[in-house]
Every structure is written in structure tokens, then in C-alpha cells.
Amino acid sequence: MTEDENQVELSVVIPLLNEQDNLRPLYEQLRQALDGKHRYEVLFVDDGSTDESFNILTEFHQADPRVRVIRFRRNFGQTPALSAGFAHARGSVVVALDADLQNDPADIPMLVSKLHEGYDVVSGWRKKRHDAALTRLVPSRMANWLISTITGVRLHDYGCTLKAYRREVLAETKLYGEMHRFIPALASWSGAHIAECVVNHRPRTAGVAKYGLGRTWKVVLDLITVKFLGSFSTKPIYIFGGLGGLTALFALLFGLLVISQKIARGVDMSGNPLLILTAVLLITTVQFILMGLLAELLVRTYHESQNRPTYVIREVLEAHDKNERTP
């Protein structure tokens, strides 16, 4: 069955790496979940697989025109794979899904239905997970708490790939590093409405997990970046100036302490380590302020060179032209 590009309602984006044993059952489950319910397409993004994954995907594409395949030259990572899928998606609604069969395709209609209730992003919550406690569950819960606390967007499961998005939300979001997990927070800061639904999570039965404790520090670094972009991307002088103000305050306190020691007890100022600390803090204050000014110049150059606004418009209501004729 051929789907006209303009009739695609739903795009399912599936990044994958060496999942040859899971692809056939995944494809069948997708058809069972979506046939007759949505006008859809499936975009498989092969992130440099070295097994038979691409050959299997080629079979799907030749048999079903709704299947599209993007193949990377090498392994770039999950975030670039999702970004490529989002960029090529044609549906007004985009759903991301893992290829390891741990996400259940049968949950897709539920997420899409929730999205149509007026939300812009619907995130899956793997309430009952089938993963190793020490290497997956505990780090995940700590990460979810940390991300929710720092971003202010409370979700139970940022790491769940199964999410539904309105296409226009993704158009405003640029992904780098491991930032695909932060899309709900980034979208919320732009005024998007976020919801969360409990989804089915299944144990992996084939293939090898691609993620573990090794990416925890990357998530922390990306979280710092996301917080900076969300809160200070248009006013970096505030964060650097704030840090400079803090170091200046400590410099003042230590300086007064040095003077009071000299007056009250005759302590030699030249040999007092607190005097050296005061000087270092004053130098650090100047450096923070200069860094803030440089960041301001970079940010303004970035926005003005691309004619990129510092705001996001939901809609505009214009007054009718008085000279406009009514039929």
C-alpha cells in the first residue's frame, strides 16, 4: 500500500545498531499496532550496523513503501540517529522507538491519542522496568531525579526513548551530544505542554544492550549544557557575573580578615596566606566578568548572524484590514 507524502499522519523513528534478531518481530508488531489506525511511515536509522540489519531493512523497504531507511556511514550515536530521523520525518506527529523490542509498539496509539488531548510532547514512563538494578535502574533513577530538579520539568523517566512529539516542537529543537533525552525539558522551556504515560517495558530477548554506566558522566555534562542553554543562552553575563560577584564577596571578607588580624594582633600581612587568597579571588572576579562579556558578544553574534530570534511564537492574531471587503 502506497502512502502519499502529504497524507502521512504519523512518523515512527527507530534508531538501531546491530539489531538483526529483533527487526523482523519489531516490524510485525508495528504493523499490528498501526495498520488501519493511522496513516503512517516507519523510518529506520541504521547507526553503522555491522551485522545483517541493513539487509533486513532493505527487504522491508522493497516490500512496503511506508518503510524508509537512513543508513549512516559509521556509528555516530543515538542522538544523531534520532536527529536524522526527525529531520526526514514527514508526519505531523513523530514517535521515537527503540529497536530492541523493550519498547512495546502497541503503546504508540495511546501516546498519539494523549498528544491529541492538547499536549506537544508525551513521554513514556517505564514504571515497571526489566533491567539490571545496579547498572541500569539505580543510575536511571538518580539521573531522572537530577534532571527533574535542575530543569524544573518533572518526569519519572527521561531515558525512555518511546515518546510522541508534534513535528513543530522538534523543528525548534537542535540535538547535540546525548541531548535526545532532554527534549521534553527543552520543549517545555519554549512553552510546550508535556504529559507522561505509563508504557509497557519488556526484557531484552535478543541482541546486546548498547548502554551502561559509561555514559553517566556524559549525561551530567549534557545536563549542565542544557541548563545553561535554557536559562542563560541569551544572558550569559548573569551566570558569569553572578560567579564573579560571589568571588568578589569572598575576596572582601578575606581582605577584611587580613586587615583585622594586622590591626588587632599585628600579624604580618605579607606572609599571610589569606592575603594571597584575597588576591587570587580578585583576579578570578575580573576573569569571570571578562568571560561573561565575551560570552555576551558570542551569543549576540550567534543570534544576529543567523537572524535567530530569542523567543518562540505560538500564534499571532492580526486585526482585520478595515479596507478589506467582506464577501
- Would you list the DSSP string of 218-262? HHHHHHHHHHHHHHHTT-HHHHHHHHHHHHHHHHHHHHHHHHHHH
Residue 97 phi, psi (nearest 5): -150, 140
Instruction: Kindly state whether residue 256 falls inside one of the protein's structural domains.
Output: yes
53 in a domain, yes or no? yes
Q: Do 42 and 179 lie in a common domain?
A: yes
Regarding whether 52 and 148 lie in a shared domain, the answer is yes
State residue 2's pLDDT score: 47
Is residue 133 very low, low, confident or very high in pLDDT (cuts 50, 70, 90)?
low
CB 97 within 8 A of CB 84: no
- Quote the CA–CA distance of 84 and 177 in Å, as a whole number: 14
Predicted local distance difference test score (pLDDT) of residue 308: 59
Query: What is the total residue count of the chain?
Result: 327
Are 194 and 74 within one domain? yes
Distance of CA 283 to the CA centre of its chain: 36
156 and 259, same domain (yes or no):
no
CATH number at residue 41: 3.90.550.10
What's residue 94's pLDDT? 96
Q: How much is the pLDDT for 72?
A: 93
Q: Are residues 193 and 298 in the same domain?
A: no
> How many percent of the chain have pLDDT more than 70?
83
Residue 92 lies inside a defined structural domain of this protein: yes
Mean pLDDT, rounded, of the chain: 84
pLDDT of residue 314: 58
Structure-derived torsion over alpha carbons of residues 226, 232, 234, 235, reported in degrees to the nearest 10? -160
pLDDT at 139 (0 to 100): 75
Domain count, the chain: 2
**Are 82 and 177 part of one and the same domain?**
yes
Q: Looking at the domain assignment, is residue 315 inside a domain?
A: no
Looking at the fold, whether 54 and 143 belong to one and the same domain comes out as yes
Please tell me the predicted confidence (pLDDT) of residue 275: 87
Q: State whether 103 and 203 are in the same domain.
A: yes
List Cβ neighbours of 32 (8 Å cut-off, separation of 6 or more). Answer: 105, 106
pLDDT band at residue 249 using 50, 70 and 90 as cut-offs: very high
119 domain-assigned: yes
Tell which of 232, 256, 283 closes a domain: 232
Q: Among 189, 206, 232, which residue terminates a domain?
A: 232
Please determine, for residue 311, whether its predicted confidence score (pLDDT) is greater than 60: no
Same domain? 225 vs 254: no
pLDDT at res. 279: 92
Percent over 90 (pLDDT), the chain: 44
Same domain, 163 and 91: yes
- In a domain, residue 134? The reply is yes
Residue that wins the pLDDT comparison between 233 and 265? 265
Neighbour tally for 265: CB within 10 Å: 7
127 in a structural domain? yes
Q: Please state, in angstroms and rounded to a whole number, the distance separating the CA atoms of residues 181 and 175.
A: 10
- The counts of H helices and E strands in the chain are 10, 7
Closest CA to 91 of 3, 28, 173, 181: 3
| Strand order across the beta sheet in which 93-96 lies | 67-71, 40-46, 10-16, 93-96, 163-166, 121-125, 194-198
Average confidence (pLDDT) over 236-246: 86
Last residue of a domain, one of 194, 214, 232: 232
Residue 302 pLDDT greater than 90, yes or no? no
Q: What is the mean pLDDT of residues 195-222?
A: 75
Q: Which domain holds residue 296?
A: 236-305
pLDDT bucket at 318, cuts 50 / 70 / 90: low
Q: Is residue 51 part of a domain?
A: yes
Shared domain check, 272 and 152: no
Threshold 0.75, pTM exceeds: no
Q: pLDDT tens digits, residue range 99-120?
A: 999 999 999 999 999 999 999 9
Cell matching residue 322: 478595515
Q: Which residues pair with 95 in a beta bridge?
A: 12, 164
Q: In sequence order, which residues have a C-beta less than 8 Å from that of residue 179 and are 6 or more positions away? A: 79, 186, 222, 225, 226
Q: Is there a single domain that holds both residue 189 and residue 250?
A: no
What integer pLDDT is reported at residue 211 of this predicted model?
A: 60
